[in-house]
Amino acid sequence: MLDLFFHEDTFEKCLKCNACVVNCPVSNETFDFGGPKHLGPELKRLMDNQQVIDDKRIELCTLCGNCDISCPENVHVSTLTAYAKAIHSELSGTKFRDVVLSNAEFVGKLASAFAPITNLAMGMRPVRKVMEATVGIPADRLFPKYRFNHFNRLYNKKTASTKRKVAYYVGCYATYNAPNVATSFVKVMEYNGIEVVKPEQKCCGVPMFANGQLKQGLKNANFNIQRFLEYTRQGYDVVVTCTSCTLALKKEYVSFLQTEDAKELASHVYDADEYLRVLMENGELNTNFAPREEKARYYAPCHMKAQGIGNPAMDILELIPGYEIQDTGAGCCGQCGTFGFKVEKYDVSMNIGNKLAKTVNDVNAEYTVTECGMCKNQLDQLTDQPVKHPMEILAEAYLVGDKVLANK
Amino acid sequence: MYDVIVVGQGLSGLLSAIWAKQQGKRTALAAMGTGRIIQSSGVMDSIPGTQDWQGNPIQKGAIEAFKRLTEKMGYPYKGEIENPISIVTGAGHVKKTILYPATISPIPEQGRVVIVGFDHILDFQPTFVQKNLQKARPTLMISTLTVQLRKHSQRTLTQLDAARLLDQSEVRNDCIRQIQQQMYEKNISQPDLFIFPASLGMEKWQETIEHFSTELNAKVTEAPGMPPNATAIRLHERLKKEAVQLGVRFYENTVVFGCKLDGKIIDSLIIKNGSYESVISGKEFILATGGILGGGLEQTSIGLKETALGFETNESGELLYCPSNLYPVGASNGLRVIHHGITGGVYSILSAHEAIAKIGKNPMMGGTRSA
Ligand SMILES: Cc1cc2nc3c(=O)[nH]c(=O)nc-3n(C[C@H](O)[C@H](O)[C@H](O)COP(=O)(O)OP(=O)(O)OC[C@H]3O[C@@H](n4cnc5c(N)ncnc54)[C@H](O)[C@@H]3O)c2cc1C
Ligand code: SF4
Ligand code: SF4
Ligand code: SF4
């Protein structure tokens, strides 16, 4: 049984200033949502005085973290809303669909094993209509493709012998849907003389937290913490290419578990571009990028913003000669992991997404760059522009740069 | 390594970051949360007075730069320091202000006005506004009415929620019909001005203002009151987007809790995001932490404490020692400027602009971006 009387006392600092509500993408789109101030600190205050309260309105929270970003009092709003979600699932039960969606890893394993069939079926209108009617996954929602040759089939290195050593947390998306991101990352590290290992790992738990499956999510968290600590204690750095996974490892594990192990691991975790920036600052970065006369736009995932690391993807991409990139300054994408795959949330998801699409299209460029696979899914559906991960661009720039060097 | 690092994202911080970046400096902004601009009325008041800048060319340049910026962002401000205008607030009080957005019109001495409220927006009560306004403007003829937004909500609606609804022309048409109907039923004559809460559209404020004034055949104004006011949120959202699009690097959800000195100047800031600690280094630093209300100063049993850099202050919150590469702006200048309770927007604009002008002149900095 989950301890529903969790300890989290930052709510006491809440001044009811509404900054979180003003910046909550869901509150701005629908009046059906109770909003972060009410379902975060206010609910927690009530619960600490009385019994546990199950508030159905919490279902609409996406755990995007914009409330945390905007709170001037440093209240851990989204930790509080995550607990409210867990309480709601515990007391009111979870839809079968949400259990499935929260198991991104299980779905990934299964779907990629039968990849050609899965992709075909997910693209077929009648199949999708049935899915909408039976499990509540909207027929119009684009589904990410699954790859038969997923990263687990491609890469299994377990030890490294270079000076800097990286333990790669791959995450479900790069494993099952976008192995190209993962292989690009390994190459980028290779060009910097760094060997990458892939420790045994489970899904970071983000989709579970978002669906109120906190207990299961924290099981995964503990598993990942133990596996990766074995590596950090041997001098490895933990590097991640998915911004939601990074945030989980850096911050969410610590806020939920509050253990020394979680904190120890967090201090070794880097976003992939952030890691390259560390190399740059130490004068270790290989900057032999082939020039690319391209203009790209950058879309910042909420979970990148929540890390408080500036904009490492742009910092690194701007080192490519001739390369131009501009931040769109767009807000939340509205896909929010599993949120946009639910029929009853589809309208809210699309309304948030349409605003984003407009801002994205306002910036004139050849393609969009973003780190998050779920944001990419929304961008693929709502804009006609290609979407790339920074690692894919960097791997190409190194590859061509190398050829140029070899021909000299 | 950044050229300029700004701490705080209130009005002072955002303006400093934008102006620094416009000068070609590699700029970062670190902040715990949003600034007090979210709670403000969105008009720029002159608190404390602008005596410090009297006759200083900075003054004119700063106001012009602010107007140019807001014009570019699609939400232009009007007004002059020498000519404060009178506006009505959401409580019906008349106050003087210096700069105001295009959604606000001055309140006349006489003539006819109609105050329009929305049924679910409890923060704005037309009859209460009328009572106070009548005291300040005895000869003004004032009528009131309340229209329905007809939206069911799971939470208390704010003026900002109403503003988002009024972006939709169907909602506006419905309101206009109700206003016309009630004016007819209550026998209210055609006024010179309609007064609304600060709710006249968000993205589509221009369309909303035009729609209402054309159909109602009179000027319309917003009367900002209890936060969140659309007047202020429009400005905040646009400033933030402008800064991001210009390429200011945001370190959000980030507490600055100390700094490292290199001799007598600041070398880097020590920051924390959750339990995750790191360091960002820069050449020049702007402290825009907002004083007592913004979280930059804390009242403790032994007096005021500066929270971001860990520096000592005197009893009025001014830094005892200010390194030559540190520029306090806005309310972070201590009680000298916040003895009225708050510092107004004009002070933020002037002090931010002055800091950037000084940084621009600083020979240590050299030319444009270093990367
Ligand atoms: C209720 C209210 C109403 C107001 N109404 C008006 C009005 O009508 N007209 C007007 O002209 N002005 C008004 N003001 C004043 C105005 O909005 C600002 O308060 C004033 O301009 C000061 O702004 P600032 O940018 O200096 O500080 P703030 O807006 O207070 O910003 C402080 C920033 O610093 C950050 N910060 C603080 N400490 C740290 C730290 N240690 N680490 C990281 N970040 C930190 C905060 O998160 C925040 O982003 C009002 C203020 C309030 C509170
Ligand atoms: S932003 Fe923070 S202080 Fe303000 S209402 Fe939300 S939780 Fe409370
Ligand atoms: S996590 Fe996102 S959706 Fe949930 S309350 Fe916070 S801002 Fe709103
Ligand atoms: S956040 Fe990362 S690990 Fe977690 S489900 Fe998404 S892709 Fe998988």
pLDDT at A204: 95
Which of these ranges, A33-42, B202-211, B238-247, has the smallest mean pLDDT?
A: A33-42
Residues 6+ apart with CB under 8 A from B293: B36, B331, B338, B342
Peptide bond into B197 cis (omega under 30): no
Distance CA A375, CA A366 (A): 18
Residue of higher predicted confidence among B304 and B217: B217
Distance CA A301, CA A371 (A): 7
From residue A138, alpha-carbon distances to A17, A143, A173, A211, A343 in Å are 36, 10, 20, 17, 5
**Predicted confidence band of residue A4 (pLDDT cuts 50, 70, 90):** low
CA of B8 to the centre of ligand 1 (A): 9
Q: Classify domain A295-407 at the CATH topology level.
A: Rossmann fold (3.40.50)
pLDDT digits (tens, 9 = 90+) for B247-268: 999 999 999 999 999 999 999 9
pLDDT at B285 over 60: yes
Contact A334, A340 (CB under 8 A): yes
* DSSP string computed for B266-280: EEEEEEEETTEEEEE
Residues A196-207 have a mean pLDDT of: 95
By residue count, chain A amounts to 408
Contact B162, B149 (CB under 8 A): yes
Q: What is the dihedral of CA B359, B295, B224, B349, to 10 degrees?
A: -10
pLDDT at B151: 86
* Two tokens, residue B348: 């933020």
Residue of higher predicted confidence among B181 and A152: B181
From residue A109, alpha-carbon distances to A185, A339, B147, B219, B341 in Å are 21, 21, 56, 63, 60
Which of these ranges, A292-306, A343-357, B136-150, B173-187, has the smallest mean pLDDT?
A: A343-357
Average per-residue pLDDT for chain B = 92
B242 interfacial to chain A (CB closer than 8 Å): yes
**Predicted confidence band of residue B286 (pLDDT cuts 50, 70, 90):** very high
- Which residues in chain B have their CB less than 8 angstroms from residue A308's CB? 30, 251-254, 271, 273, 276
Of B292, B236, B5, B348, give the one whose Cα is nearest residue A310: B5
Residues B129-144 have a mean pLDDT of: 97
Of B366, B364, B290, give the one whose Cα is nearest residue B331: B290
Q: How many CA atoms lie within 13 A of A408 on its CB side?
A: 6
Contact A44, A11 (CB under 8 A): yes
Contact A59, A19 (CB under 8 A): no
Nearest ligand atom owner, CA of A103: 4
Nearest CA in chain A to B239: A329
pLDDT at B371: 32
Distance CA A61, CA A26 (A): 7
Pocket of ligand 1 (CB under 6 A): A 72; B 7-13, 30-37, 39-41, 43-45, 255-256, 288-290, 293-296, 307-308, 330-332, 342-345, 348
pLDDT at A351: 86
Residue percentage of chain B with pLDDT more than 70: 94
Residues 6+ apart with CB under 8 A from A225: A253, A257, A259, A261, A262, A265
pLDDT at B369 over 50: no
Residues A82-100 have a mean pLDDT of: 82
pLDDT digits (tens, 9 = 90+) for B306-320: 999 999 998 888 899
Dihedral of alpha carbons A154, A400, A374, A302, sign: positive
Nearest CA in chain A to B233: A22
pLDDT digits (tens, 9 = 90+) for A230-280: 999 999 999 999 999 999 999 999 999 999 999 999 999 999 999 999 999
Q: For ligand 4, atom 3, which residue shows the shortest CA distance? A: A171
pLDDT at B367: 39
Of B258, B340, B359, B364, give the one whose Cα is nearest residue B27: B359
Verify whether the Cβ–Cβ distance A308 to B39 is below 8 Å. Answer: no
Atom of ligand 1 nearest to the CA of B44: 11
Nearest CA in chain B to A39: B155
pLDDT at B333: 85
pLDDT at B143 over 70: yes
A295-407: same fold as A10-92?
A: no
Distance CA B248, CA B5 (A): 10
Q: Kindly state if the Cβ of A26 falls inside 6 Å of ligand 3.
A: yes
Q: Which residues is B141 bridged to in the sheet?
A: B112
**Predicted confidence band of residue A288 (pLDDT cuts 50, 70, 90):** very high
- Which residues in chain B have their CB less than 8 angstroms from residue A254's CB? 274-275
User: What are the boundaries of each domain within chain A?
Assistant: 10-92, 96-135, 151-281, 295-407
Of B88, B189, B177, give the one whose Cα is nearest residue B134: B88
Residues B266-289 have a mean pLDDT of: 94
Of A169, A164, A199, A191, give the one whose Cα is nearest residue A181: A169
Task: Tell the residue number behind the tokens 């012998």, with chain if given.
Answer: A161
pLDDT at B14: 98
Strand A387-388 with B297-300, pairing: unpaired
**Predicted confidence band of residue B370 (pLDDT cuts 50, 70, 90):** very low
Distance CA A40, CA A85 (A): 10
pLDDT digits (tens, 9 = 90+) for B61-106: 999 999 999 999 999 999 998 889 999 999 999 999 999 999 999 9
Nearest CB to A17; choose among B30, B39, B254: B39
- ipTM score assigned to the predicted complex: 0.91
Distance CA B370, CA A176 (A): 40
Verify whether the Cβ–Cβ distance A327 to B247 is below 8 Å. Answer: yes
Residue type, B249: R
Nearest CB to B154; choose among A34, A68, A300: A34
* B20/chain A closest Cα distance in angstroms: 16
Verify whether the Cβ–Cβ distance B277 to A266 is below 8 Å. Answer: no
| pTM > 0.90: yes or no | yes
CA B187: distance to chain centroid? 39
B289 interfacial to chain A (CB closer than 8 Å): no
pLDDT at B364 over 70: no
Verify whether the Cβ–Cβ distance A363 to B154 is below 8 Å. Answer: no
- Which residues in chain B have their CB less than 8 angstroms from residue A311's CB? 247, 249-250
Nearest CA in chain A to B32: A72
pLDDT at B53: 60
pLDDT at A336 over 80: no
Number of other CB atoms surrounding residue A140 within 10 Å? 11
pLDDT digits (tens, 9 = 90+) for B9-52: 999 999 999 999 999 999 999 999 999 999 999 999 987 766 66
pLDDT at B342: 77
Residues B275-292 have a mean pLDDT of: 93
Task: Tell the residue number behind the tokens 């990849």, with chain if given.
Answer: A115
pLDDT at B337 over 80: no
- Which residues in chain A have their CB less than 8 angstroms from residue B28's CB? 310
pLDDT at A337: 74
Residue percentage of chain B with pLDDT more than 90: 78
Q: 3-state class of B265 per DSSP?
A: strand
Q: 3-state class of B98 per DSSP?
A: coil
**Predicted confidence band of residue B300 (pLDDT cuts 50, 70, 90):** confident
Q: Kindly state if the Cβ of A387 falls inside 6 Å of ligand 3.
A: no
Nearest CB to B28; choose among A19, A307, A310: A310
Q: Where are the beta strands (DSSP E) in chain B?
A: 2-7, 27-30, 77-78, 85-88, 94-97, 100-101, 111-118, 140-147, 193-197, 219-223, 249-251, 255-262, 265-273, 276-287, 297-300, 303-306, 326-328
pLDDT at A326 over 80: yes
- Which residues in chain B have their CB less than 8 angstroms from residue A267's CB? 275-277
Average per-residue pLDDT for chain A = 89
pLDDT at A110: 67
pLDDT at B365 over 60: no
Which of these ranges, A365-374, B220-229, B297-306, has the smallest mean pLDDT?
A: B297-306
Please tell us whether the domain made up of A10-92 is placed in CATH 1.10.1060.10.
yes
* B254/chain A closest Cα distance in angstroms: 6
